[in-house]
Structure formats: C-alpha cells, structure tokens
Chains A and B, each alone.
Chain A
Amino acid sequence: MVGDIMKRIDIAKDFTDTPLGRYPTDGPYSGERFREEFLYPALKNDSVSVVIDGTEGYGSSFLDEAFGGLVRKGYYSADQLVKLLKIECNDSDYAIYRDLIWKYIKEASMQIA
C-alpha cells in the first residue's frame, strides 16, 4: 500500500545528470540499470515520485527502457503505474519527457497485450 511518505528519486542527484542508452552495454547510466537498481526496488510495495529535472536531457532509449520496461518485464501494468508512479518536473523544458514517459508506458502495455 501507499506509505505516508512517498519515496523520491531525483535522477540527476541520485543516479546521474547524463543518463544515456538503453542497456548496460550502452554505458553505466542506462535505462535498464536505472530501472533495475533504482526504480523497481523503490516501487516495491510503495509509490514513488521520480524527479526528472536537472539532467542534461534524455534520449528515448533511456526513457523507454527505464519506464516502458517496467511494463514489458511484467513488473507492473500501466494501470498500476498510474497509481504508484509520479513524475515530477518543475522546469517546463522537461515536461516533454514526462509526457514521453507515460507514452512509453502506454505503448509497452499495448505491445504485451
């Protein structure tokens, strides 16, 4: 169930300010590594807020693997993620990535359907 204090992952501060690539073979700050070592462990039995501001930016490979991968791997359904996951951004430049994250989650759920 959702805890009283929502867990918070600030990608720029907790992971890297230069996220890059899909798989660990693309580099140490890949979407898969973020999902497996940060996002998925934090999501277990709790809701999580992910702050996406402050990085250099995001390529679609990183976002798709990190967030869409949660659905493709069968960890969560898109509906569950709507309840558990909050994407935070205060910089309007990064709002586009918040929209892309939800787009990739939706696309992933369509792929596995």
Chain B
Amino acid sequence: MAAPNMKADKSQHPLADTGKVLPGQGKHKSVGNRRHRQKHRQWLLRQRKKQMRIRMRIKRRANSGARRLSGLHLNAHTKTSVSSDKKSNITVILPAVLDFDENYERTASHFAVLREAIQDNKRIRRIDFGGIQSISPSAALVLASEVDRWNQQVGGRLKADVSSWKDDIKRLLCQMGYFELLHLDKPIEAWPAKNTTFLPFKRGQANSENSGQLAKQLRMEIETIVEQRIKRHFLFEGLSEAMTNVGQHAYRDEIDNSRKQWWLSASYDEDEQKLCVTFYDQGDGIPKTLPRSGFFETVKDVFNTWTDSQKIEAATQIGRSGSGLKERGKGLQNLVEFAKVHSVGKLTIYSLHGMYVQSYKNDGKKVMQTAARKDFDNSIGGTLIEWSVTL
C-alpha cells in the first residue's frame, strides 16, 4: 500500500531516490552530488515561486476594493476616507487608530495616499484629524514627515478644525510640532499633566553638518524629560548609523542631498518608564538596497523569493549591508545596542512591506533575545526604526 504513495512523493522532488543511478554518480561522485544540489536548488526555487504566486493572488483578492481617485490609488482601507471635489482638491479623513502595531494596513494605506498626493503635487485641501482616537509615536512621526514634505513641496494652508480634535491627540500633536507644520495657532489652554510626553520631531538630511548635533539635542531633551542620564553613547551609536545609512543607501537615485531627508522624535511614558525613540526616512527601503551586497551573490537564486521581512532580518546581520564592500555592513548591527543594554528593550524595523523586531531582556548577567517578523500588503514607504526601552 505504501508503494504508490512513495512514488507520488518521489515525482515531486527531484532528489527522491528513484533507484536510478544519475549520470556522474559512482566513479564521478562529486559531479553527481553537484548535479543533485543543483536540482535541489531548482526545485526549491520552483516551490518558492509557486508560494509567491499564491501570495500575490491572495493579495490581489484582498485589494479588490482598489480604485483610483484624481490619479490617486485607493484601496479597501482608503476608498471611503479619501475624497476629491470638482477642482480635484483632496480631503483625507485619518482613521481612528493610527498605529503600526495595532492597525498597520489602514495606517500605512492612509499615509501612502498622502505620499502619492504630495509626490504628484496634488492639492490637499484638508487632513481630518478629528476622528483620531489614538496615535502611536511612530505613526505620529511618519505622518509628520508626510505633512512636512507637503509643506516643503506644495505648501499652503491646510484646513483643520482643531476644536474637533480629542484633547490627548491635540496635546500630542502640539508637543510634536504639528501646529507649526500645519501653520495653526497653538492652543493656549494648559494641558493636564499626562503620563506620556512627546518631543518635537526633528528633520535632518544626508551630508548635513548638524546631523550629529540634532542627535545630541534629542538626547539632551530626553534627559530633561526622564530626569536622568541615559546611555547616550549607545543611543548615538544607533542614530548615527541610521543617519549614515540614509546618506549611503536609502535614496539611491536621488542626487540632491537636501531631498535625502530623515525625521526623528522620542516619547516617554512616565508610568511605565518607557522611552521610545523613532527614526524614519522615505527612501528605497532596506529590502531594495540589500541586493548590491557581496552576500547577495551567494544567495541570489533564492533572494527574489524572500519576503521583505526576511530581507530586513538578513540585513541586520553583520556583513550584509547594501554596499558590497568588505569593510561595510557593520552599520545595522549598531542599531540593536541601545535596545540590548536596558533591562527590557526592543528594536523594531519596518521597511517597505516588512517588519522585523528584536526583543531583549537583560538581567545584568545575560541577555535573552527573541525575534519575530511579519509582512504586510501595504508599504510603509521607506524605513522606520523604533527603539523602545524601559529605563
């Protein structure tokens, strides 16, 4: 009874024992082995391509609500919250929960529409913050970067009904610098003392004289709100490498350094003593820049079948940057140090459609590490790095 089943299995895998002696086996064993390996690699490749096709089909089905509005690509998450008037002025109603952890697809979809509108110089008439119930520090930073780009590229005045904003949201957006971004008058009301304090976001650019000073300024602001000295050299180590990566890899086709921008912010939850530092760039993303490495040469047969999260994971390991030079590739490894040296720390990297997170528990004697990754339908439109540590 077992024989037919075995036969069926053999037909699927080229390495299954067919009982035949393959050419090159026997006297020329090494040649045979090489052919075996080659066939095995080809089979693996076919399997991965098949999985990719299935994944793409599922993705297409999920995106069946896709449509276009004034040249903007909308999907199931944005088709009812983005509208356009007769003059093609765009209104974007932001979702209730803007958070990459809890509501990734909807959050990323809305930011993608804003990004597309800004890139295409569309007239954004209104961004509606009124329905926002909660917004994470990372989502707030990415949104700030989009509005900041809009200010630089299109400019003008956005309509915003501040009175409809929830108090907590108003406070967060005020602390982060949104009122200046949106050219709105700052509210004069005194905010009730809250657990979480947000620092104003900072924008920097590649090859800038003040990049290091901005990182130092953020560190000093953090020390003011946490009322203690932090492990500044580890924070600077991570931030300086993130900034270097923006200049060297993130914006490959951009010649103008002033367009190679990054954004940086931090927040502190006093009750949980949790510090969160976020860094974002709107570049090509780690998955797209990895293929230029020497490491890529050894895995190129299967590389294109990797998901974005697998590519991010590979890039965080030593010697796997996008430069192709032997001495390079240490950079992304620097990012983990700030998370590693605290009792509880987490480094999360979102890049294009992937997310890779490394979590650490440090009891002073040994460091326990866990890692996870995830892939999404919608792209985050660059790379977001988030350090979350308990002080």
Contact = CB atoms under 8 A, between A and B. Distances in A.
B207 A27 contact: yes
Contacts of B212: 16-20, 27, 29, 56
Interface residues of B, number: 30
A94 B247 contact: no
A67 to B, nearest CB: 11
Nearest to A29: B212
Given A57-B236, A60-B334, A62-B240, A26 B219 contact: no
Interface of B: 206-209, 211-213, 215-216, 219, 231-237, 240-241, 243-244, 247-248, 326-328, 330-331, 333-334
B219 A60 contact: no
Nearest to A25: B207
A46 B215 CA distance: 35
A35 interface: no
Contacts of B241: 59-61
Given A56-B232, A57-B234, A94-B233, A21 B244 contact: yes
A17 B240 CA distance: 12
Contacts of A107: 327
Nearest to B326: A111
Given A27-B208, A27-B212, A57 B330 contact: no
B234 to A, nearest CB: 7
A17 B220 CA distance: 14
Interface in A21-59: 21-23, 25-29, 55-59
A57 to B, nearest CB: 3
Contacts of B208: 27
A68 B327 contact: yes
Given A25-B247, A26-B207, A56 B236 contact: yes
A60 B233 contact: no
A108 interface: yes
A108 B334 contact: no
7 contacts: A19-B212, A21-B243, A25-B247, A27-B208, A56-B233, A59-B236, A94-B233
A93 interface: yes
Contact of A108 (B216, B234, B237, B327): B327
Contacts of A58: 233, 236-237, 240
Across chains A and B, which 8 residue pairs bring their CB atoms closest together, nearest first?
A18-B212, A57-B233, A57-B236, A59-B240, A60-B330, A56-B236, A59-B241, A20-B212
